[in-house]
Amino acid sequence: MTLSFEDGNSLFDFVVKDGNGIKGLVDSGIVEVPEIFIQPLDERIEKVDEKGSKEHFLTVPIDLSKLDGPDHDQVVNDIVTAAKTLGFFQAINHGMSLDLLESLKDAAHQFFAQPPEAKAVYLKGVSRSPLVKYATSFTAEKDKALEWRDYVSMLYTHDGDALEHWPKECKEVALDYMKLSAKMIRRLVEILIRNLGVNLEDSRLEALIGLKIVNMNYYPTCPNPELTVGAGRHSDTSTITMLLQDDIGGLQVRVEEDIVAGRKEEWIEIPPIPGALVVNLGDVLQILSNGRYKSGEHRVRTTSKQSRVSIPAFCSPRPTEKIGPLPQQVELDGGPLYREVIFQDYMTHFLGNAHEGKNCLDFVKINKI
């Protein structure tokens, strides 16, 4: 079956509003990418060496089990170094079984393999569950060009709700994954904040990771990968995100230009490592640390070879939580780089605007004259 669309609007409706997704479009047999997915020149992604970079913390995963042994200090040091530079690292011995990781990828494939009608019940506005949203692209209505990705987003409130409302194809594994990720993320936040010389109370730590969401991303094969992006460049608004990617590859992180070190800006691949999870800091840790830690700017390229799945677990502050640079850090630095914001307002700003790298942080940045 080859579909024909009179204009971009009917194509947009087919993909986004009717819930066929990019997957539905690809399954219809298209041989070239329609206009609405073609990225402006400066957003396109050049073909890269898929073997990835030699960036240490991206190729040599941090063994989190060593936090409980004699190498504790060294591991903390590695985590802190990654947090201050790339905002990304890979982790092994993270407390999740390989079985769970495999089941998660299978569940993601199962969810997206369903016919469009089965997924469309979770579309925004009509979703049968307030906790679940299925969509294509990120801010489809605002983006200059649509991303080449379908995703389903599941909000965690408590176990009972998840088992009742999340899609049956993936709810059990996604719930296990969410809980184990949250445990790990809590530990990492504690380590990172303590390293700034601050001991947060348990209740504040909990509040900083109190909003928990698991997504499943599906990136169908793309006939013209050089014209599209799977996910446009952005940083996550979370406190910390944990991400499982399959073995296809395509996730890239931006390394900022460093004039002093004589290094140009570049995008480097985060190579898939069997059994490892990708950990990335979100904007919240950059704000709390007054810029000491970096939220990593990242994007995903598409490929013509095979469809790809990834499963991020985002831990963010509770929506009512006030976020700002920690007073101890501000004192040390001689002033705040960011103003205080209620996390809900930060999210609303993020969701209401097309993504452009880390520009959401500008919303809270204090401009020095």
24 binds, among Ni ion, ligand OGA, none (CB under 5 to 8 A by kind): none
Q: Can you tell me the distance from the alpha carbon of 334 to that of 345, in angstroms, rounded to the nearest whole number?
A: 26
Are the C-beta atoms of 207 and 189 separated by less than 8 Å? no
Q: 17: phi > 0 → left, psi -120 to 50 → alpha, else beta; which?
A: alpha
Q: Give the orientation angle of helix 72-85 with respect to helix 171-194, to 10 degrees.
A: 90
Q: Can you tell me the distance from the alpha carbon of 171 to that of 177, in angstroms, rounded to the nearest whole number?
A: 10
Q: How many residues bind ligand OGA (CB under 6 A)?
A: 11
Q: Does 302 bind ligand OGA (CB under 6 A)?
A: no
Q: Can you tell me the distance from the alpha carbon of 36 to that of 11, in angstroms, rounded to the nearest whole number?
A: 9
Are the C-beta atoms of 344 and 211 separated by less than 8 Å? no
Q: Among residues 11 and 315, whose Cβ is nearest to Ni ion?
A: 315
Q: Among residues 103 and 217, whose Cβ is nearest to ligand OGA?
A: 217
Q: Can you tell me the distance from the alpha carbon of 23 to that of 169, in angstroms, rounded to the nearest whole number?
A: 17
300 binds, among Ni ion, ligand OGA, none (CB under 5 to 8 A by kind): ligand OGA
- Binding-site member from 215, 239, 303, 307 for ligand OGA (CB under 6 A): 215
Tokens standing for residue 197: 């010389």
Q: Among residues 181 and 329, whose Cβ is nearest to ligand OGA?
A: 181
Q: Does 231 bind ligand OGA (CB under 6 A)?
A: yes
Window 311-340: residues binding ligand OGA (CB under 6 A): 312
**Which range in 35-43, 167-175, 243-251, 327-335 contacts ligand OGA by CB under 6 A?**
243-251
11 binds, among Ni ion, ligand OGA, none (CB under 5 to 8 A by kind): none
3-state SS assignment for residue 68: helix
153 binds, among Ni ion, ligand OGA, none (CB under 5 to 8 A by kind): none
Burial class (CB in 10 A: 0-12, 13-18, 19+), 187: middle
217 binds, among ligand OGA, Ni ion, none (CB under 5 to 8 A by kind): ligand OGA
Q: Could you give phi then psi for residue 194, rounded to 5 degrees? A: -60, -35
- Binding-site member from 90, 153, 181, 245 for ligand OGA (CB under 6 A): 245
Q: Does 181 bind ligand OGA (CB under 6 A)?
A: no
Window 140-179: residues binding ligand OGA (CB under 6 A): none
Between the alpha carbon of residue 150 and those of residues 109, 131, 300, 311, 345, the distances in Å are 12, 17, 13, 12, 26
Q: Round the CA-based radius of gyration of the chain to a whole number and report it.
A: 20
Q: Does 298 bind ligand OGA (CB under 6 A)?
A: yes
Q: Among residues 324 and 357, whose Cβ is nearest to ligand OGA?
A: 357
Q: Among residues 85 and 302, whose Cβ is nearest to ligand OGA?
A: 302
Window 220-239: residues binding Ni ion (CB under 5 A): 236
Contact set with ligand OGA (CB under 6 A): 215, 217, 231, 236, 243, 245, 251, 298, 300, 310, 312
Contact set with Ni ion (CB under 5 A): 236
